Structure formats: C-alpha cells, structure tokens
Amino acid sequence: MTATATETTSLIAFILPGVPCSVRMARFFVRAALSYHDLGDFGTDAEAVTSELVTNAITHADAPSIGVELIRMGGSRALAVGVAVSDSSPLPPVLRDPEHDAEHGRGLQLVAALSADWSWAPRGAGKAVYAILMRQE
C-alpha cells in the first residue's frame, strides 16, 4: 500500500458575529476566496455547505462569534476543499430526520449530500464542524 501525500493550504479564515446576516457574508467570502484561488468549480456546493454550517452555529450554538475557514487539500489524484465552522458550544451537531412537512431540520442532510465527508471535533471550549468537498483531478 502506498501512502498518498496530502498538502493543505488555508485559503481564507475569518470571524463573523453570531447574527443571521453573517450567513450571507460567509457565503460571499467563501465564493470570493474560491474564485481568487481558481477553485470556482467548488463554489455552489461550498456556498451551500457554508450557509448551512454557519446557520446551524447561529441557531443552535447561540455564539457571539463564529469562525469560518476554507482549506485546500490536494493529493496525487484528487483535489478537495474543506469548510470548517467553529463556535463556542461544546454540543455536537445532530443529524435530524425531520417529518416530511417540517420547515427546518435538513441542513446537515444537505451537508452530507454535498460533501464526501463531514464531521465535527472539539476546538477549545467549543467545536468545529467541517465538510470535505472533493473533485477528481
């Protein structure tokens, strides 16, 4: 078995206030960073994932601020972009199975559908929720 080296590069990292208008700002900064680094083909999915993760942090963590980082990951055969959203709540995200007519509760299902993988990890007193978007090179 041959190990595949993966190089990671932070494309952008920023902190936003934990208020609803931050969702729009996060999408804008993510799309701009992807475009600047010639990774625009990740734009639509990365914006949707960022939107859901930031919305969840605002809604469920009740955090005064939210961190967002976009990371480029490259190996010998694939290119990936990671989106990580951190907040001050130590509680893990919950993947829900909402009723058919429910208006909310599908955000993490969307993140799971658009990403190759997603998870969370403790970060300081809070957590970071991340998703990996992948493309074949």
Over residues 65-110, the pLDDT tens digits come to 999 999 999 866 678 999 999 999 999 987 777 666 656 556 788 8
Residue 107 is predicted with a pLDDT of: 77
Domain borders along the chain are 7-136
* Fold topology of 7-136: Heat Shock Protein 90 (3.30.565)
**Predicted confidence (pLDDT) per residue in 48-69, tens digit:** 999 999 999 999 888 899 999 9
User: In degrees, to the nearest 5, what angle opens at C-alpha 113 toward C-alphas 15 and 62?
Assistant: 35
The answer to whether the beta carbons of residues 75 and 8 sit under 8 Å apart is no
Q: What is the largest distance, in Å, between two alpha-carbon atoms of the chain? A: 48
